[in-house]
Each structure stands twice: as C-alpha cells, then as structure tokens.
Structure 1
Amino acid sequence: MDTNVFSRTDTNDEIISAASYNLVIGLTLLWGFIINYFMVANIPTQSILEFGFWPFIIAYFISCFFGIYLFNKSDNPVVSFIGYNFVVVPFGLVINIVVSQFDPEIVLAAVRVTGMVTFVMMLLGSAYPAFFERIAGGLFIALICVIVVQLIEMFFFGTQSGILDWIVALIFCGYIGYDWARANAIPKTYDNAIDSAAALYIDIINLFLRILRIMARR
C-alpha cells in the first residue's frame, strides 16, 4: 500500500459504491466537527491556555503529525480513524481558543460561509479535476510563502496583515477542490474514504479559521 493516500492507484481492499464512499467521507467529517463542537462547548479556554504556549504548540504538532502518519501509513480503516482523531483533537483545542475571542453570531456566520464555500469547491473539484491538479504545485508554494511571511510578521514586527487571511483562505479553497478531486480518483474503499476525509477536514478547518478572522475584522 502506498503511504501517500492520493497516490493509491490499486488496492486489495473491498471496493464500495460511490454513494457509500461519499457517505463515509461525510460521516467522518461530521464526526470531526461534532468532536470540535463538544470541545468548544465543554472545555474552558483558560484551562487550555494554562498549559503554556510552547508545551501546547509542541503537543499540537506531535499529535497532528502522528495522526497524519497513521492515516497515511495504514490501510486499516480503524487505524486510519484513530489517526484522524489525533488530528481532530488538537485542532479542536485551537478552534476553542480562537472562537472564544469572537461574538457567537460571527462564529455561526463563518460556519455557514465555510459550509457554502466548501460545497462549491467540491462541485468545482468534481467538474474540473485536471485544473486543480495543475495548480497544486502553485498552491503549495503559495502556502509555504504565506506561512514564512506570517511568522516573520508575528515574531519580528508583532503584526499580522489582513490581506494574508484572504490569501490563505483562497489557498485552502483551492486545496478543498484539489483534495476532493483526488479523493474521487483513487479506489473507493472504506480506508481511502476516511483518509480523504482527514485531508479535507484539515482544509476546511483552516478555511473556517481564516473566514472567521476576515468576518470579525469587517
């Protein structure tokens, strides 16, 4: 089994119908969003902040990278689902910290806009997979450049440019279309559905956080 989810061109696992495949992707995404909602509703933000900035950041990256390793490496849907949760939980803690700073109405509006944008990008990913394949390299380079610029702004100048939020939002719009197109180009198995959902989850949450910042600034 190829360790890159979207490079899997064949499989010995059971092939499922397109409807079942998309249902598993949807349910896996829904599970992640429900866990995040539960965390935001029940974990006090202060208890997260008391953990300390650097210990939190280190634990966040360890958990995320371990989760990504699990669902990329495994062809067992149970193991992949466990890996997915290792990504969902640290993202949920970040979402908890971020949304606590904004009015609930703005948060709900950002959720609604993110859902609509995600739906549109999935449609485009289905309709124009070749286009998203062509822009993949540009998306990656743009994302790396934006991350570097943001780190420089944050640590050396103590500022964050609003235009970068728009750029990152557009980048993750592209990634949603790209990952959805790739999800539908690999064998339709339960494991691939969960792995594809994990990749889409990361795209969608990053898009949501940027849309929230943009809407709050307005």
Structure 2
Amino acid sequence: MTDSVFDRTETNDQRISPSLYNLIIGLTLLWGFTINWLMVLNISVDSIANINPLIFFIAYFVTCFTGIYLFKKSNTPAISFLGYNLVVVPFGLIINLVVSQYDQNIVLEAIRVTASVTVIMMILGSLYPAFFNKIIGGLSIALICVIVVELVEIFIFKTHHDIIDWIVVLIFCGYIGYDWARANAIPKTYDNAIDSAASLYMDIINLFLRILRILGSRK
C-alpha cells in the first residue's frame, strides 16, 4: 500500500500512453456499468428487500469503504480492481432497488442524460483543471451539508424537497470534472487508470440516481 492515488506525482511503475490510459479508464467504467446492468436483470428486488435493513446497510458500508480503501491505497492493478468491484456490487444493489420504481423509458432517458452530462464535464475538466481544483473544497462542504439536510428531512420531517436533487446533481457534475482533471494530472499507469475510473464511477452513479429521481418526479 502507498499514498492515496491522487497524491502520486511520481511512480516507478510502467507508464503507458495517454490513449491506452484513457482506454483502460473507459473499459473499467464499462465493466462496472455492465455488472450493475446484469445485477438489475438477474437479481430480484424482493430478494434484496427481504434482507434485514440493518445487516444490509452495515454490509453495504463495510464493503464500499473496504473497496475505496483498496483502490485508493494500492498501487497494484489487481488489488485496485478488486477494490473497484467491492464498490460496484453494493452500488448495484442500490441501483436495482431504485430503478425498479421507475418506468423503463424514464430509466433509459436518465442514462442518456447522465452520459451526455458526464462527457461535457470531462471536457470541461480537461479544459479548466485549475477551476475544478479551486472549487473542490466548496463542493465537499456543500455535499456534507446536503447529506445532513436530507437526513433531517427524511427521518425527522418525513419529507423531501426536489431542490435537493438539483443541488446534488450540480455537486456531482463538479466532482466529475474534478476527478477527470486530477486523473489526467497523475502518472499514467495501469493502476492509476483503474483508481481514476473507480472514483469517476461513484460520481457518475450518484449523478444518474439523482437525474433519475428528477425525471421520475416530473413524469
């Protein structure tokens, strides 16, 4: 294990070309999305809903945080890929529960919108990396505040305001731009490509879930 992936400025690992680096990021993302798609197709919502909620959420957070630790700290591609999958699988269970509540056309529309927004934010992240580096502190504070407000609304006031979904969408747009900018600022290695894809995966899935909720509420 070593320092967090995005703190790496030098490496003794084999460097790869920018095109191969970006290809590995894309293929790693595609792997995660494919796993999630297969989970939605083959795992029944009832089987997930029947799991004890406390056990489910404990297992969810333990698995996710273990995966995040592995891919952020490891400089071995295989270990980072294992960590990535430990994030993809629990996320897939949540995605399964969420998409089951919406019409297929709305889900497909949410996928298209998410893909379009992701490409735009990656382009902006490439063009204006300094801007995203400046706003990351504000994005992190905003995300923490939104999580606290949303938890209070759900568990105390038993309500939800749509404006929160829009705020979260903006926050994760910023995170995609930021993570793409810093992915291109670190040494281009196989391991760093997988690590970068893992961070982008979490941004994109969170963005997708909020866009789906917005589109579903409108229709």
TM-score range normalised by the length of the shorter chain: over 0.9
> Which runs of structure 2 are paired with 1:1-218 in the superposition (5 Å)?
2-218=2-218
Cα distance in 2 for residues equivalent to 1:106 and 1:51: 27
* CA offsets 1:35-71 (integer angstroms, 9 cap, x no match): 0000000000000010022211111100000000111
Moved over 2 A (4+): none
5+ residue gaps, structure 1, are none
Contact 2:118 2:176 (8 Å CA) reproduced: yes
Cα distance in 1 for residues equivalent to 2:82 and 2:126: 28
Task: State the SS of the aligned residue for 1:82.
Answer: helix
Q: Give the TM-score normalised by structure 1.
A: 0.99
Query: RMSD across aligned C-alpha pairs, in angstroms?
Result: 0.7
The number of aligned residues is 218
Cα distance in 2 for residues equivalent to 1:56 and 1:158: 22
Cα distance in 1 for residues equivalent to 2:31 and 2:199: 14
Contact 1:180 1:200 (8 Å CA) reproduced: yes
5+ residue gaps, structure 2, are none
Task: State the SS of the aligned residue for 1:16.
Answer: coil
What is the CA distance between 1:73 and its match in structure 2?
Answer: 1.4
Contact 1:2 1:8 (8 Å CA) reproduced: no
Cα distance in 1 for residues equivalent to 2:15 and 2:211: 36
User: 1:100 is aligned with what amino acid?
Assistant: S
Cα distance in 2 for residues equivalent to 1:56 and 1:209: 19
What is the CA distance between 1:160 and its match in structure 2?
Answer: 1.1
Contact 2:2 2:74 (8 Å CA) reproduced: no
Cα distance in 2 for residues equivalent to 1:200 and 1:30: 11
Cα distance in 1 for residues equivalent to 2:74 and 2:12: 13
User: 2:34 is aligned with what amino acid?
Assistant: I
Cα distance in 2 for residues equivalent to 1:117 and 1:11: 32
Quick check: 25-34 or 45-54, which moved more?
45-54
Contact 1:5 1:72 (8 Å CA) reproduced: yes
Between the two proteins, what is the percent identity of the paired residues? 69
Contact 1:63 1:90 (8 Å CA) reproduced: yes
